[in-house]
Amino acid sequence: MSETAPDSADGNVASGTGDNSFVVVANRLPVDMIIESDGTKSWQESPGGLVSAVSPVLEKHQGCWVGWPGVTDEAPEPFRTERGVLLHPVELTQHDFEEFYEGFSNATLWPLYHNLIVTPEFNRSWWDAYRDVNLRFATEVASVAAPGATVWVQDYQLQLVPGILRQLRPDLTIGFFLHIPFPPPDIYRQLPWRSEMLRGLLDADLIGFHLESNVRNFVELCRGYDMEVSGEIKVREAGITITLPNGHSLGVGVFPISIDTSAIAATLAADTHHESHGELEQMHHNMGSPSTVFLGVDRLDYTKGILQRLLAFEELLDSGALDPKEVALVQLATPSRERIDSYRTTRSNVEEAVGRINGRFSQIGRPVVHYQHRSVTKDVLMRYYRLADVMLVTPFRDGMNLVAKEFVATRADSSGALVLSEFAGAADELTQAHLCNPFDIEDIKKAMLQATWGLKNNPEAMKERMSAMYNQVMEHDVDLWANAFLGALGALEQKHSV
Ligand code: ADP
Ligand code: G6P
């Protein structure tokens, strides 16, 4: 991954003394600290869609980012990145890592909010850790935010931060954005600490979700708590107002997240240099020059449906619908949350399937599945996107899924096809994709075959589909997302201060 070095060489170490007018707080910083066995420290981009989307926004605003540096029991001094973002590390102990991060955030909330794909665990000591760590994050933010600053709290790991921050710093304007789905009220209500969690969130001035369905779920939940709800659901606006018994009111709206299209365009333009050296052709040749390349790019997470997509591919090879001499599937899987049982099981099932499929259908020196369990740099990732004929994005549930949009953004020439799960948030916008139900292997197979058949036999119709999706993504980029959210937050702040 690309290294983003702290700017300490120029002595520009920040004091973190409450002079930041725009602060983002997320569990993770945009970079993870890497500590080698000899103690050498370096930084690399941290994983996930939140970091991909929020980084360009903070670079534009030259704001301050409060977050965890990805290693336990370490919190380096605040520093500025080469791109001008002030990073303010928050220390998590090993105990916090196990109980707040692996436990409550990723073994309770993550499965609960992703519609119970695995069973959430409810553990009282994890909840205590979640409260403690949220208090610590809020206290850090309170110490770096300037009077009257705007604070943008990100994601499910920090849902108590708005409430704590409101008490510590009533002068702040507080936005909250949820990067994952918000579940139906019946599922949310399983959470033993549901009222306290909701109360913490509602102290924000604006809460943003990706999809209308998320807002509907949230509003229905609030109505069940006898909150006053008015207005209507709007996209890129705070259409709903919720009023609490204490008189505090907040806006709620749909703000579909997106990608940094100009950064992708710049990477693609820079890559034409490599292309002139035949790198893309070389990659294709190294894969045995298949006529159809399928591609999957995901964090290795059970929500992403990687195993089901491999099984669909295997059955298509088995039945002869796809010829193993003609096709290849590339699966890039970023390591994620590796010590949690459900993640270990997912990895072992995926790797067993990769081994079995290659054992059954590969020739020596010509695997039919190319699998990498590691991250790649953005420019290499772009090359994989460009190499693919059919992109496979088949999550069981996903807040948005930026991979689908990134792939589409590499298709200015309208080539290729996207197989997309109905349960990815991106399906609301990328309606021209080959949509499938990821719980139904027959349906995934059908979508894969339709895409492959269409590219060979109906190229004009396929180009129309891709071109519509390309225009959609280009017109709705990450700037639009951030400007809409921050604009709506600013408008609410003005209303309150009148
Ligand atoms: P999530 O946030 O659940 O991980 P998204 O699809 O929204 O899912 O975002 C994933 C982000 O991580 C994308 O920006 C994608 O480019 C990046 N990514 C995923 N896999 C890899 C990989 N193997 N190497 C590099 N980047 C990756
Ligand atoms: C998703 C979540 C983010 C999270 C990312 C990576 O995008 O919405 O909040 O940061 O996954 O997961 P990790 O557990 O490694 O931070």
Please say whether the beta carbons of 354 and 371 come within 8 A. yes
Q: Residue 181 and residue 170: Cα distance in Å, rounded?
A: 29
Share the mean pLDDT of the chain: 94
Please say whether the beta carbons of 112 and 120 come within 8 A. yes
Please say whether the beta carbons of 151 and 172 come within 8 A. yes
Which atom of ligand 2 lies closest to the CA of 106? Answer: 14
Question: Could you tell me if residue 35 is inside a domain?
Answer: yes
249 and 127, same domain (yes or no): yes
Question: Could you tell me if residue 130 is inside a domain?
Answer: yes
Nearest Cα to Cα of residue 259 among 490, 475, 488, 30: 475
Per-residue pLDDT for 8 more than 90?
no
444 and 376, same domain (yes or no): yes
Distance of CA 462 to the CA centre of its chain: 27
321 and 244, same domain (yes or no): no
pLDDT in tens, 184-206: 999 999 999 999 999 999 999 99
Domain tally, the chain: 2
pLDDT recorded at residue 9? 30
pLDDT in tens, 76-99: 999 999 999 999 999 999 999 999
**Cα of 316 from ligand 2 centre, angstroms:** 32
62 and 120, same domain (yes or no): yes
Question: Could you tell me if residue 1 is inside a domain?
Answer: no
pLDDT recorded at residue 279? 86
Residue whose token pair is 């579940």: 183
Mean pLDDT computed over 466-491 = 98
Find out whether the beta carbon of 114 lies less than 6 Å from any atom of ligand 2. no
Range of the domain at 379: 261-475
Which atom of ligand 1 lies closest to the CA of 257? Answer: 7
191 and 275, same domain (yes or no): no
40 and 145, same domain (yes or no): yes
60 and 145, same domain (yes or no): yes
207 and 309, same domain (yes or no): no
Please say whether the beta carbons of 89 and 67 come within 8 A. yes
pLDDT in tens, 359-378: 999 999 999 999 999 999 99
340 and 225, same domain (yes or no): no
**Cα of 14 from ligand 1 centre, angstroms:** 30
pLDDT in tens, 377-402: 999 999 999 999 999 999 999 999 99
Find out whether the beta carbon of 465 lies less than 6 Å from any atom of ligand 2. no
346 and 235, same domain (yes or no): no
Question: Is the four-CA dihedral 19, 22, 27, 30 of positive or negative sign?
Answer: negative
Question: Could you tell me if residue 198 is inside a domain?
Answer: yes
Probe target for ligand 2 pocket from 98, 137, 179, with the most ligand atoms within 8 Å of CB: 179
The residue nearest atom 4 of ligand 1, judged by CA position, is 48
For residue 118, what are the CA distances in angstroms to 109, 306, 343?
A: 11, 15, 10
Question: Could you tell me if residue 191 is inside a domain?
Answer: yes
Q: Residue 489 and residue 348: Cα distance in Å, rounded?
A: 44
**Residue 331 in 3-state DSSP?**
strand
pLDDT recorded at residue 498? 59
pLDDT recorded at residue 288? 93
Question: Could you tell me if residue 211 is inside a domain?
Answer: yes
Tell me the pLDDT band of 3, cut-offs 50, 70 and 90: very low
Which residues does a 6 A CB cutoff place in the pocket of ligand 1? 47-49, 52, 297-299, 332, 334, 375-376, 381, 400-403, 406
CATH number, domain containing residue 125: 3.40.50.2000
pLDDT recorded at residue 360? 98
Tell me the pLDDT band of 226, cut-offs 50, 70 and 90: confident
Which atom of ligand 2 lies closest to the CA of 179? Answer: 8
Question: Could you tell me if residue 28 is inside a domain?
Answer: yes
Q: What number of residues does the chain have?
A: 498
216 and 295, same domain (yes or no): no
Q: Give, to the nearest 10 degrees, the angle between helix 378-387 and helix 261-276.
A: 80
Mean pLDDT computed over 243-257 = 96
pLDDT recorded at residue 11? 33
pTM above 0.75, yes or no: yes
b/e map of 80-89 (b: 16 or more CB within 10 Å)?
bbeeebbbbb
Tell me the pLDDT band of 274, cut-offs 50, 70 and 90: low
Mean pLDDT computed over 122-139 = 98
Question: Could you tell me if residue 347 is inside a domain?
Answer: yes
146 and 166, same domain (yes or no): yes
